[in-house]
A and B are shown apart, each in its own frame.
Chain A
Amino acid sequence: MMNPFEIHAAKQRIKNILFKSIAIMGLLFALCVLILLLVNVAQNGLSRINIEFITSYPSRHPDQAGIVAGLVGSFYMVILTAIMAIPIGIGAAIYLEEYGRKNWIGRLIEINIANLAGVPSIVYGLLGLGLFVRWMALDRSILAGAMTMSLLIMPVIIISTREAIRAVPNGIREASYAVGATKWQTIWHHLLPISFPSILTGIILAISRAIGETAPLITIGALTYVTFLPNNLKSSFTILPIQIFNWVARPQQAFHQDAAAGIIVLLIVTLLLNSVAIILRNRFLR
């Protein structure tokens, strides 16, 4: 006969095993789906990946079509978005965390930013269409697109930067103030350098999102068939996901291969960007 303690322990052991198996199954399921997706895409698209595909403009002929307009468009889009969203986002986070008072206005702003981070991206597209494309008359330009995208990722940057700054031990602030440093010196010498790796992580996530987002740019009218590279801020443009979407929508099987190849390029770009950021972060963590 087992005593009550042993029965309890046995039950807990079973629960433990059960939960562990559920977790492992969840992981395996997710991995399988991902692998299936990658294999499928690779089978379809790998044969189309070559220098010509990377350097050609889209075409009526699927075997001559290329991704260069989308690739360069996405590149410009991300750079412009980063230039606008990162300084404003970090600035806003510093203000909210270090300067702003923690009263009801502060809490209201905090709740609103958290909500903004969860707003569907199509809504940002509509905002961009009304505000930048029409009202500011920027037209369907790459600038209007990047501004829309900045709005979209700014809440994410603000939230992650705030958390990064908040995670700096208060003792560091006190130590800095105690020897006569000003608020700005404390932020610039201590808070930003110490929280930089975490801030960078937030920025990586935000930028990755910007690369993959399609809906808001379709809304503001990014083109789907572009045979030129954007040469100024008011240029029309397309981006990788829109180019891929365009090919998928074609009835011809051959264009679907182009789409698969485009997806591979998009994945590689995203992975590259993430790895660069991770390398940067690890360098600064040392």
Chain B
Amino acid sequence: MSSYKVETRGVNLYYGNNHALKNVTLGVMENQVVAMIGPSGCGKSTYLRLFNRMNDMIDNVRIEGEVLLNGRDIYLNGSRVEDVRKKVGMVFQKPNPFPKTIFENVAYGLRVNGISNKKFIEETVERSLKQAALWEEVKDELKKSALALSGGQQQRLCIARALAVEPSVILMDEPASALDPLSNAKIEELIWELKKRYTIIIVTHNMQQAARVSDKTAFFYLGELIEFNDTKEIFMNPKHERTQNYITGRFG
């Protein structure tokens, strides 16, 4: 058994002939926040999507190597992709609420997993919205359309939606990049809170954000994992010249 919550071992990923991830080995401990940084197209989003098998949606993707969740390979035959996604939640770059009520957005994950107990659903919706720091703002208008919320609220709703199915890992793909600075700060605060209960992997273009929220940081470049270390080390004392250049803004 490995002691990592999630990890990849020697993962290669190809889009057709494009070698998008090159032999990436990386492990994330439980209740850690790991930030993925790197220039656009470096493969960090692709890497993130390995953990909930979101890359399966794309044609012509070939994946080699092992992706482990709790020590089990999630790509092995016999592991249902829906089960993986229940354990590994995801928050996307652009807030993507369903055009349904606030309540139904959060409840959706429960419903597709066959839960119909009304009381349980109501309790879970409330708990998830509280965890996502949205409850106070929406508790009186749960029946309103989620599309009426502001961008920042929508994103917290999407976080609540992800939390409702009680995942143990949360993937975040630039969750704050489409938001205003205030909403951005709220999301970061939230990550601090969520960290107590969840393992979080976050892709970000924002260096300060990576430095503020993460315990460890991984720097990707052209599909390779260049450096992976404690966030402090990466930012104060990078081992590789490329990392140094990137975080100081000399390229990227």
Contact = CB atoms under 8 A, between A and B. Distances in A.
Contact of B99 (A179, A185, A194): A194
Given A174-B54, A178-B92, A182-B82, 11 more contacts: A175-B97, A176-B98, A178-B89, A179-B85, A179-B109, A179-B161, A180-B82, A180-B113, A181-B108, A181-B109, A190-B98
Given A171-B92, A174-B54, A180 B99 contact: no
Contact of B89 (A102, A173, A179, A181): A179
A180 B54 CA distance: 11
20 contacts: A102-B59, A169-B96, A171-B96, A172-B98, A173-B57, A174-B96, A175-B161, A177-B57, A178-B85, A179-B109, A179-B164, A180-B86, A180-B109, A180-B165, A181-B82, A182-B82, A182-B112, A185-B112, A189-B112, A190-B98
Interface in A176-202: 176-182, 185, 189-190, 194
A-B pairs, top 8 by smallest CB distance, nearest first, are: A171-B96, A179-B109, A180-B86, A178-B90, A181-B112, A175-B96, A180-B85, A180-B82
Contacts of A252: none
Interface string B96-113: 111100000000110011
Contacts of A172: 96, 98
A175 B99 contact: no
A134 interface: no
Contacts of A234: none
Contact of B158 (A102, A175, A182, A194): A175
B162 interface: yes
Contacts of A173: 57
B83 interface: yes
B52 interface: yes
Interface of B: 52, 54, 57, 59, 82-83, 85-86, 89-90, 92, 94, 96-99, 108-109, 112-113, 158, 161-162, 164-165
Nearest to B94: A171
A176 B187 CA distance: 21
A101 B109 CA distance: 27
A102 B16 CA distance: 13
A245 to B, nearest CB: 47
A157 B54 CA distance: 30
Contacts of B109: 179-181
Contacts of A175: 92, 96-98, 158, 161
B141 to A, nearest CB: 18
Contacts of B113: 180
Given A101-B59, A103-B59, A174-B54, A179 B86 contact: yes
Contacts of B96: 169, 171-172, 174-175
B98 A178 contact: no
A184 to B, nearest CB: 10
A178 B51 CA distance: 11
Contacts of A169: 96
Contacts of B89: 178-179
Contact of B92 (A174, A182, A189): A174
Contacts of B158: 175
A193 to B, nearest CB: 8
A174 B57 CA distance: 9
Contacts of B164: 179
Nearest to A169: B96
B249 to A, nearest CB: 30
A180 B83 CA distance: 6
Contacts of B162: 178-179
Interface in A8-32: none
Contact of A179 (B54, B59, B97, B165): B165
A185 B81 CA distance: 14
Contacts of A181: 82, 108-109, 112
